[in-house]
Amino acid sequence: MATRNYPMCSVVPPYLLNALAESEHNNEDIRKSARHCLDFSKTYIAKRQRVFAELTAPRGARGAAAPRRSRGIIPDTLLKHIAESEDVDENTRNSAKRDLEHIAGIQAKYQQAQGIAAEQKTLATSSAPAETKATYRAVYNANNTQDEGDLPGTVVRVEGQKAVSDQAANQAYDNAGNVLSFYLDIFNWNSIDNKNENVISSVHFGQNYENAFWDPEINQMVYGDGHDFLGNFTNAVDVIGHELTHAVTEHTSPLDYTGQSGALNEHVSDTFGVMVKQRVQNEKADEADWLIGEECLMPGVKGVALRSMKAPGTAYNDPRFGKDPQPDNFKDYAATDDDNGGVHLYSGIPNKAFYLSAVAFGGYSWEKAGKIWWETMRSGQIPPKCTFIQFADATVDKAEELFGDDAAAIVRKAWNEVGVVRKTHA
């Protein structure tokens, strides 16, 4: 397989996989599976650090990577499948036909510029609408491969198609739609890049693979089927919201994936992931459980979720993989070389600040707290190596700009309560 240049971020943190791999309460099969997932996770977390460094490198800087090529065009074969499918509605078929013609036109121009004669074969588009806001979704079966070179796999369900017999495929399709509608309806953000990029997913990745991740090298979601303790990833809309938000972060304020900025990167994904879940469940901030990945713990596990934004450090406590280690206050922050400087570990600190802000504002979390965080990420004021206090200051400033002094005071109080306090000098 060719060397990959880009990373993935997985929803199950490395410290949990490591605990599974080392616990004497687990049999060797479980420990071996966890070690396998951990090795895979470590490799691509290191690569994620590089991709965000590339995204934030000044143009022309020595050693800066060339901009990544957009991978937003759906393969011709997939468009043809949509255009000819009897399982999709007429508007969807017409849109696919239109896009096929557009791609063929671009290819013809390229071939003409290169002096290549090409016979154009396009489908009729006389009845196609002028434009559509629908974002293409397609779900594939990875057929249990763990070789990314084989992805996406075999097509299972495409945009506009009715439900299929593969329940994981249906869940991945529907929940991607929930995430996309959240961003479009609440923040007027179209798909993951605001340019209506298609969203591709592969289910059934690997053998007993206990994770789900966004792979930015091929711009798609990947889901394992899980094992004894962790699984059900396609049914967890907050997990899918978390992972797709990593892609959104690349197009708003890329945060270096290390140390405090990396923890903020993870925090932003948790924050928007949990808001998607709350919207799907129609829960106001004070009604929600603020859990991330509650669907992912299998029956019998002593815990409620992968993480808790309301009470970091309390999500699980099981001898087979230990106690949730997330601190909830900056006083417990300590530099570490593990997990890219604790990006999953310390995200709980800003997570709790967002929870406190949202509950204090009342109503739905995205109405004020979410809008403040979103506009902060869109402000251009977040540096790649952002610290917690810098991010806190930016959210306070944005709260004041959007909602006034009282809102700014609410957000500042939330950050103060988690120990992210601006120093004062006598």
Strand order in the sheet with 154-158: 9-10, 212-215, 220-224, 199-205, 137-141, 154-158
Q: Is residue 47 part of a domain?
A: no
Indicate if 259 and 391 belong to the same structural domain: yes
Pick the range with the lowest mean pLDDT from 42-56, 300-314, 380-394: 42-56
Indicate if 331 and 341 belong to the same structural domain: yes
Tell me the CA end-to-end span of the chain in Å, nearest whole number. 60
Pick the range with the lowest mean pLDDT from 69-78, 339-348, 378-387: 69-78
Alpha helices in 191-258 (DSSP H): 237-250
Read off the pLDDT of each residue in 245-260 and give the average, rounded to a whole number: 93
Indicate if 394 and 277 belong to the same structural domain: yes
pLDDT at residue 114 greater than cutoff 80: no
Picking from 352, 353, 345, 224, the residue whose alpha carbon sits closest to that of residue 296 is 224
For 347-406, give the DSSP string. Answer: THHHHHHHHHHHHHH-S-TTTTHHHHHHHHHTTT---TT--HHHHHHHHHHHHHHHH-HH
For 250-286, give the DSSP string. Answer: HTS----SSHHHHHHHHHHHHHHHHHHHHHHTT--TT
pLDDT at 423: 75
Q: Which domain holds residue 369?
A: 252-417
What is the tens place of the pLDDT at every residue in 118-155? 332 332 223 333 344 689 999 999 999 988 889 999 99
pLDDT at residue 169 greater than cutoff 80: yes
Residues acting as catalytic residues: 243, 344
Question: pTM for the whole thing?
Answer: 0.77
What sign for the dihedral angle of Cα 283, 288, 290, 293? negative
Higher pLDDT, 15 or 411: 411
Q: Is residue 70 part of a domain?
A: no
Q: What average pLDDT is seen over the chain?
A: 81
Last residue of a domain, one of 134, 149, 175: 134
pLDDT at 61: 45
Alpha helices in 25-113 (DSSP H): 28-56, 76-84, 90-113
